[in-house]
A and B are shown apart, each in its own frame.
Chain A
Amino acid sequence: MVLEWMKGAERPFSKVLIANRGEIACRIIRACKELGLNSVAVHAEDDKDSLFVEMADESILLEGAGLAQTYLNGEQIISIALKNEVHAIHPGFGFLSERSEFANAVNSAGLVWVGPPAQAINSMGDKMTARRLMRQAGVPVIPGEEIDESDPEQELAAIHEASQRIGLPLMIKASAGGGGKGMRKVSEFSEVRSAAQAARREAEAAFGDGRVYIEKMLTSSRHIEIQILADSFSNVIHLGERECSVQRRHQKVLEEAPSPVVSEALRAQMGAAAVNAAKAVSYEGAGTVEFLVTTHGTFHFLEMNTRIQVEHPITEYVTGVDLVVEQFRIAAGLPLNREQADIRINGHSIEVRIYAENPASGFLPATGILARWQAPEGPGVRVDTGVRQGDEVTPNYDPMLAKLIVHASDRDAAIRRMKRALSEFVILGTVTNVDFLQDLVQHPAFKAGRTSTEFIAEHWSNGWSEQAPSIDVVLAVAIGEASGMQRGSTVAAGSDSLDPLRHDSTNPFLSIGKRFP
Chain B
Amino acid sequence: MMQNEFQDCNSERWLVTLSSSAQRFTVESMSRSGENLVTRIHAERKGSKILLSDGKIATLCKVGDDWWVHHSGRTHRLQLIEPGIDSSEDSDGGLVAPMPGTILDIMVTRGEHVSAGQALILMEAMKMEHKIVAPTDGLIEALLCSQGDRVEQSAVLIELSSKE
A-side residues, CB < 8 A to B, are 180-181, 198, 201-202, 205-206, 249, 360-361, 364-369, 371-372, 374, 395, 397-399, 422-424, 426-429, 431-432, 434-435, 438, 465-483, 485, 490-493, 508-509, 511-512
Closest Cβ neighbor of A420 among chain B residues? B73
Most buried by A among B61, B67, B72: B61
Whole-angstrom distance between the alpha carbons of A483 and B125 in the complex? 39
The number of chain B residues touching the other chain, given as a range, is 35 or more
Q: Which residues of A contact B30 (CB under 8 A)?
A: 471, 474-475
B contacts with A: majority SS: strand
Contact A432 B75 (CB under 8 A): yes
The minimal Cβ–Cβ distance linking A38 to chain B, given in whole angstroms, is: 32
> Does B163 belong to the interface (CB within 8 Å)?
no
B85 at the interface (CB under 8 A from A): no
Give the docked Cα–Cα distance between A198 and B65 (Å): 40
Between A and B, how many residue pairs show CB distances below 8 Å? 187
- Using Cβ atoms and an 8 Å threshold, which residues of chain A touch B58? 472-473, 476
A340 to B80, CA, bound (A): 60
| Bound form: Cα–Cα A135–B156 in Å | 51
B45→A471 contact, CB < 8 A: no
Give 15 CB contacts A-B under 8 Å.
A365-B125, A372-B61, A395-B153, A399-B126, A422-B73, A428-B60, A429-B61, A429-B63, A469-B78, A471-B38, A474-B30, A478-B2, A478-B6, A480-B50, A482-B20
Q: Is the CB of A512 within 8 A of B48?
A: yes
* CB neighbours of A465 from chain B (8 A): 9
A485 B62 Cβ-Cβ under 8 A? yes
- Report yes or no: A476 in contact with B69, Cβ–Cβ below 8 A: yes
Contacts of B14 in A (CB 8 A): 469, 474, 478
B16–A371 CB distance below 8 A: no
Q: Is the CB–CB distance between B25 and A479 below 8 Å?
A: yes
Report chain A residues within 8 Å CB of B126. Answer: 365, 395, 397-399
Q: Could you tell me the distance in whole angstroms from the C-beta of B68 to the nearest C-beta in chain A?
A: 4
The interface residues of chain B lying within 8 Å CB-to-CB of A472 are: 43, 52-54, 56, 58, 71
Nearest chain A CB to B22 CB, angstrom units:
10
From A202, which residue of chain B is reached at the shortest CB distance?
B129
Most buried by B among A395, A465, A469, A485: A469
Q: Do A438 and B63 contact each other (CB < 8 Å), given the known contacts A468-B12, A479-B43? A: no
Chain A neighbourhood of B70, CB < 8 A = 372, 426-428
The answer to whether A181 and B127 have CB atoms under 8 Å apart is yes
In the bound complex, what is the Cα–Cα distance between A369 and B128 (angstroms)? Answer: 22
Bound CA span A61–B106, Å: 37
Contact indicator A482/B25 (Cβ below 8 Å): yes
Check: B18 CB closer than 8 A to any chain A CB. Answer: yes
Q: Which residue of B lies closest to A364 (CB)?
A: B98
Q: List A contacts of B4 (CB < 8 A).
A: 478, 481-482
Give the docked Cα–Cα distance between A391 and B29 (Å): 38
A202 to B48, CA, bound (A): 46
Chain A nearest CB: distance from B150 CB in Å?
10
A471 touches B41 (CB 8 A): yes
Residues on A with C-beta less than 8 A from B6 are: 474, 477-478, 481
Q: Is B113 on the interface with A (CB-CB < 8 A)? A: no
Q: A426-B59, A432-B75 are in contact. Are A477 and B48 (CB under 8 A)?
A: no
Name, among A471, A476, A509, A512, the residue most crowded by chain B CB atoms within 10 Å (CB to CB).
Answer: A476
Q: A369-B63, A476-B52, A479-B25 are in contact. Are A470 and B125 (CB under 8 A)?
A: no
Q: Within the complex, which residue of B12, B59, B63, B77 is in contact with A374, where a contact is CB–CB below 8 Å? A: B59
Whether the Cβ atoms of B99 and A473 lie closer than 8 Å is no
Given contacts A427-B75, A480-B67, A509-B61, contact A395 B125 (CB under 8 A): yes
Separation in Å of the B145 CB from the closest CB of chain A?
16
Inter-chain contacts of A399 with B (CB < 8 A): 126
Candidates A206, A364, A395, A473; contact of B69 at CB < 8 Å: A473
Residue of A205, A422, A468, A509 near B9 (CB, 8 A) is A468
Map CB proximity to A onto B108-130 as digits: 1 under 8 Å, 0 otherwise: 00000000000000001111111
Residues of B within 8 A of A429 (CB): 61, 63, 68
Q: How far is the CA of A403 from the CA of B113 in the complex (A)?
A: 45
B-side contacts of A474, CB under 8 Å: 6, 8, 14, 16, 30, 78
B142 within 8 Å of A (CB atoms): no
B 1-33 contacts with A by CB, 8 A: 2, 4, 6, 8-10, 12, 14, 16, 18, 20, 23, 25, 27, 30
Q: CB-CB < 8 A to A482: which residues of B?
A: 2, 4, 18, 20, 25
Chain B residues positioned under 8 Å from A424 (CB to CB): 73
Measured between beta carbons, the chain A residues less than 8 angstroms from B67 are: 477, 480-481
A373 to chain B, nearest CB (A): 11
